[in-house]
Homo-oligomer: A and B are copies of this chain.
């Protein structure tokens, strides 16, 4: 049965054992999925306050603003949360490629059976 977290209107993120919640960003203009990363409470608060996407870097164990070095920030136009409040959806206007490889989206390869092929 749905509980209050599922259907209520109180923000109550369900962080995992490491204090993290999964966040994905899609392009407002194209609907394309750009990237998936993780947030801690500080990253979510910074994203809400600044309307620029912030995440928690698990590899570097630090808060990071997406684009802080590259300039490819994600301007956040809408923030949504899922039913059980363990995932965040950012609808964004990207200032540049979202992927560290230089691709517009991190999801630039299609799975074809056992192999991958570039989408474009």
Contacts and interface: CB of A to CB of B under 8 A. Distances in A.
Interface of A: 2, 6-11, 22, 24, 26, 30-33, 35-36, 48, 78-84, 87-89, 99-101, 103, 106-111, 113-119
Given A33-B24, A81-B107, A10 B101 contact: no
Copies in the complex: 2
A116 B81 contact: yes
A48 to B, nearest CB: 6
A83 B111 contact: no
14 contacts: A2-B100, A10-B116, A11-B111, A11-B115, A22-B36, A26-B31, A31-B32, A33-B80, A36-B82, A80-B110, A80-B111, A81-B116, A82-B106, A83-B108
